Structure 1
Amino acid sequence: MNKVLVEIFLPAADESYDVYIPLDSQMSEVLTLVSSLLSDLSHGTYKATPDAVLCDAESGIIFNINMAVAELGIQNGSKLMLI
């Protein structure tokens, strides 16, 4: 499985986390896993919710959850934001 290392900024906790995500997974799966993970890592500051979104931290563009990570152009060093 090919993975990429991305930085995910979590505004609710004012923290950034480095996370490996699989390139061949759908963004909807990644969003669910990342939401749960960051909820745990932030010690409850962030609560995972079904309406969470992942977006590009620099442009603010929300990623399509129906596409694979690789199709979205996400690569090593990409900066994402979970809101």
Structure 2
Amino acid sequence: MNKALVEIFLPAANASFDVYIPLDSQMSEVLALVSAALSDVSGGKYKAADNAILCDADTGIIYNINMAVAELGIRNGSRLMLI
């Protein structure tokens, strides 16, 4: 499985986390997994929710959850934000 190491900024915790995400998975699957994982490691500052979104941390563009991660141009070193 191809993976990318990305930085995910979590405004609710004012912290960034390095996370490996699979490039061949749908963004909807990755969003659910990342949301649950960061909920655990944020010390209760972030609660996983069904309406969470992942966007590009630099531009603010919201990623389409119906596309594969690789199709969205995400690669090693990409910076994402979980809201």
TM range (shorter): over 0.9
User: Any unmatched runs of 5+ in structure 2?
Assistant: none
Identity of aligned residues (%): 77
TM-score by length of 1: 0.99
Q: Separation in 1 of the partners of 2:66 and 2:33?
A: 15
1:52 to partner: Cα distance: 0.2
Q: Which residue of 1 aligns with 2:61?
A: 61
Offset of residue 74 of structure 1: 0.1
Q: How far off is 1:43 after superposition?
A: 1.2
Provide, for residues 3-46 of structure 1, a one-character-per-residue CA deviation record: whole Å limited to 9, x for no partner.
Answer: 00000000000000000000000000000000000000101110
What aligned pairs does 1:2-81 form with structure 2 within 5 A after superposition?
2-81=2-81
| Root-mean-square deviation (Å) | 0.3
Alignment-mate amino acid for residue 30 of structure 2: V
Q: TM-score, normalised by structure 2?
A: 0.99
| 4+ long deviations beyond 2 Å | none
- Cα distance in 2 for residues equivalent to 1:41 and 1:77: 21
In 1, the alpha carbon distance for the partners of 2:44 and 2:29 equals 21
**CA separation in 2, counterparts of 1:67 and 1:41?**
26
- Aligned residue pairs total 83
Structure 1: 5+ residue stretches without partners: none
